[in-house]
Chain A
């Protein structure tokens, strides 16, 4: 037994993907099929942001850890036209991760491609290779495979027009393509391969950032769990996996194996619970939970953003990675014995969902709702969701938690607004499904707990299973992150020092023998 597992480190990354909004986001690809000459598609390119605008966007700076979620408190919407006072000093790197440009991300997709499916035009490939070679996390060796891309633009065009390849654009120009991996199998089509390579590449980048931020030796990672929302496999095993091991290979985690955990947006919370349990059970010492982002959701609410004269705000492919390790007596512990779960019998009303995930979990340990300092449910950025009519998702969650606290007599009805402010936060995560689901706060939670600002945080993952048309059920799990007491089961075990006891017994035996000899 090794005590609770601890949250050792986190990484959060963003990749600009403005052209992918136009060509890979499903809102746009669907529109192109059903209404090809629409006003929306015509107007859309003018609403795309520059890389600099993406970098200086306040929620993105919070995501990579350059600014605390506190900067969003009281900041009036819209946020897209606001900058932090020190915006000029803040760059692409934050304490948790990094934002990379679209061309570098395309290069990362090429690096992540094990089957020679990504074909880049030769001059573009060389420019990207040079940029990545200079990047401290990629370097010459990892970027070298990009040099094999010697295709002319004519060949790329032919691949797209005659060979069913999926085009890759940068700044409006064709720069490459992803080939299909099979002539007939739709699960290996160019569309699926591009989507999966984008997910893999963003997971790889997050893993590299995690290695940098935690300083862990890549060889010390035992197991990787991927929790994105994509499926890789062929026609005989659609969704066979294993994104985790595929990304671990590129990130250089040579001693790791892994597996994929799926559960729509709830998957990260499921994966972290699994990882914490594997570590607590002593099965593995260091487990990484990782996920890349999603091309399909780019520009998902774009119609409303364009209609309201806003920029397209869903223009980044996100990623995150979390390192969960044996109890070090310092890092926050993952209390996998304080877990909420939405069961088959729970029901789908918001009250039933939050009761199952919050109150049931806390009551099992005699805790009150107010004992949790910060709740991290679905941290979607309201700057994106509110103009699209989807409301303020974190706020809805906080209001429901507060309402349950009123119902239980823990707070007065008049204190709901204060509860939301004290125990909640504004959302800052991109609407990439699993990405906002509880986990964006882990990095800040770790820092705040270790700084003594808070003692307990609850991470809540929720998932819309009904989207897969296999069940009408909703889903979710939650867990509590808590300050480390400094007492590990390992430390308790060391109180019983076997060597010392053996020494004492040997001494006693010797004294006994001496006394017998004297007699």
Chain B
């Protein structure tokens, strides 16, 4: 948990993996400040 506490996070999720919003929820619950989050497609 301490790893992300007070840190600023930029999140890129993968449409075939974990969506950006899900990572954002986790990161915020761990104390990170999410600057930007999106889900991208590479296929």
- Scan residues 1-43 of chain B and give those whose CB is less than 8 A from a CB of chain A: 14-17, 19-22, 38-43
Stretch of A182-190, A247-255, A277-285, A383-391 that contacts chain B: A383-391
| Contact between chains at B42 and A300 (CB < 8 Å) | yes
- Scan residues 236-255 of chain A and give those whose CB is less than 8 A from a CB of chain B: none
Q: Which residue of A lies closest to B42 (CB)?
A: A390
B residues within 8 A CB of A433?
Answer: 43
Q: Once bound together, how far apart are the Cα atoms of A41 and B21, in whole Å? A: 34
Q: Once bound together, how far apart are the Cα atoms of A436 and B39, in whole Å? A: 20
Q: Once bound together, how far apart are the Cα atoms of A121 and B15, in whole Å? A: 43
Known: A390-B16, A391-B16. A472 touches B43 (CB 8 A): no
Closest 4 CB pairs of A and B: A464-B41, A348-B19, A390-B42, A464-B15
Known: A378-B43, A380-B43, A385-B43. A349 touches B16 (CB 8 A): no
| Contact between chains at A390 and B43 (CB < 8 Å) | yes
Using A350-B16, A396-B16 as known contacts, list a sample of 20 further A-B pairs with CB atoms less than 8 Å apart, ordered by residue number in A. Answer: A301-B42, A348-B19, A348-B21, A348-B22, A349-B22, A385-B42, A385-B43, A388-B42, A389-B42, A390-B14, A391-B17, A431-B43, A433-B43, A436-B43, A464-B39, A466-B15, A466-B38, A467-B40, A472-B39, A474-B15
B residues within 8 A CB of A348?
Answer: 19, 21-22, 39
B residues within 8 A CB of A472?
Answer: 19, 21, 39
Known: A466-B38, A474-B15. A393 touches B43 (CB 8 A): yes
Nearest-CB distance from A352 to chain B (Å)?
10
A residues within 8 A CB of B22?
Answer: 348-349
Q: In this complex, which of B17, B39, B42 has the most chain A Cβ atoms within 10 angstroms of its Cβ?
A: B42
- Could you name 19 residue pairs across A and B whose Cβ atoms are closer than 8 Å? A300-B42, A301-B42, A348-B19, A348-B22, A349-B22, A350-B16, A378-B43, A380-B43, A390-B14, A390-B42, A396-B16, A431-B43, A436-B43, A464-B39, A466-B15, A466-B20, A466-B38, A472-B19, A472-B39
Q: Once bound together, how far apart are the Cα atoms of A389 and B40, in whole Å? A: 13
Nearest-CB distance from A217 to chain B (Å)?
38
Nearest-CB distance from B14 to chain A (Å)?
8
Nearest-CB distance from B37 to chain A (Å)?
9
Nearest-CB distance from A186 to chain B (Å)?
24
Q: In this complex, which of B17, B19, B43 has the most chain A Cβ atoms within 10 angstroms of its Cβ?
A: B43
Q: Which residue of B lies closest to A466 (CB)?
A: B39
Nearest-CB distance from B25 to chain A (Å)?
11
B residues within 8 A CB of A380?
Answer: 43
| Contact between chains at A349 and B43 (CB < 8 Å) | no
Nearest-CB distance from B6 to chain A (Å)?
26
Q: In this complex, which of B38, B39, B41 has the most chain A Cβ atoms within 10 angstroms of its Cβ?
A: B41
Nearest-CB distance from A103 to chain B (Å)?
29
Q: Once bound together, how far apart are the Cα atoms of A394 and B41, in whole Å? A: 15
| Contact between chains at A467 and B16 (CB < 8 Å) | no
- Scan residues 76-106 of chain A and give those whose CB is less than 8 A from a CB of chain B: none
Nearest-CB distance from B42 to chain A (Å)?
5
Q: Once bound together, how far apart are the Cα atoms of A301 and B41, in whole Å? A: 11
Nearest-CB distance from A353 to chain B (Å)?
10
A residues within 8 A CB of B14?
Answer: 390
B residues within 8 A CB of A396?
Answer: 16
B residues within 8 A CB of A390?
Answer: 14, 16, 42-43
- Scan residues 354-391 of chain A and give those whose CB is less than 8 A from a CB of chain B: 378, 380, 385, 388-391
A residues within 8 A CB of B19?
Answer: 348-349, 472, 474
A residues within 8 A CB of B16?
Answer: 350, 390-391, 393, 396
Nearest-CB distance from B21 to chain A (Å)?
6
Q: Once bound together, how far apart are the Cα atoms of A396 and B43, in whole Å? A: 13
1/0 per residue, CB under 8 A from B, across A385-416: the answer is: 10011110100100000000000000000000
Q: Once bound together, how far apart are the Cα atoms of A378 and B38, in whole Å? A: 21
A residues within 8 A CB of B20?
Answer: 466
Nearest-CB distance from B27 to chain A (Å)?
16
| Contact between chains at A467 and B41 (CB < 8 Å) | yes
Nearest-CB distance from B32 to chain A (Å)?
19
A residues within 8 A CB of B38?
Answer: 466
Q: Once bound together, how far apart are the Cα atoms of A433 and B19, in whole Å? A: 18
Q: Which residue of B lies closest to A380 (CB)?
A: B43
Q: Which residue of A lies closest to B21 (CB)?
A: A472
Nearest-CB distance from B10 to chain A (Å)?
16
Q: Which residue of A lies closest to B37 (CB)?
A: A472
Q: Once bound together, how far apart are the Cα atoms of A349 and B16, in whole Å? A: 9
Q: Once bound together, how far apart are the Cα atoms of A498 and B38, in whole Å? A: 63
Q: Which residue of B lies closest to A467 (CB)?
A: B41
Nearest-CB distance from A494 to chain B (Å)?
48
B residues within 8 A CB of A436?
Answer: 43
Nearest-CB distance from B13 to chain A (Å)?
9
Nearest-CB distance from A305 to chain B (Å)?
13
